[in-house]
Amino acid sequence: MQPFSLHVPHRVFGMATSGNCHKVKLACDILRIPYRWHETDIMKGESRTPEYLRMNPNGRVPVLEDDGEMIAHAEMSGGKAPFILPTR
């Protein structure tokens, strides 16, 4: 796994009320990873649009874009660094 770039602004697609998304936000804030938050309302189907599914075929939030690579399934445990797996 490559380390995150701290120079390019990453994009995070997430829903503010989602705990899974909050974990990514928290990890970025703690690790000072620069990002722009893109609010994505799963209740309105915004994670199931063709455009979104091209970014993340599993149709779920959160997704973090790292230098053009779309990364999903963010998990963080016990205050340790997040485990982030590529979508493909």
Ligand X SMILES: N[C@@H](CCC(=O)N[C@@H](CS)C(=O)NCC(=O)O)C(=O)O
Task: Report the residue from 60, 65, 71, 84 that binds ligand X according to the rule CB under 6 A.
Answer: 60
Binding marks (x or -) toward ligand X, 12..51, rule CB under 6 A?
------x-x---------------------x----x----
Q: Are 18 and 61 in contact (CB under 8 A)?
A: yes
Is 70 among the residues that bind ligand X (CB under 6 A)?
no
The C-alpha angle with vertex 84 and arms to 27 and 56, in degrees rounded to 5, equals 110
Please classify residue 29 by burial: count the beta carbons closer than 10 Å to its beta carbon, then call 0-12 exposed, 13-18 middle and 19+ buried.
exposed
Q: Hey, which residues does 75 pair with through a beta bridge?
A: 83
**Among 2-10, 30-38, 71-79, 80-88, the segment contacting ligand X (CB under 6 A):** 71-79
Nearer to ligand X, 6 or 85 (CB): 85
Site residues, ligand X (CB under 6 A): 18, 20, 42, 47, 59-62, 72-75
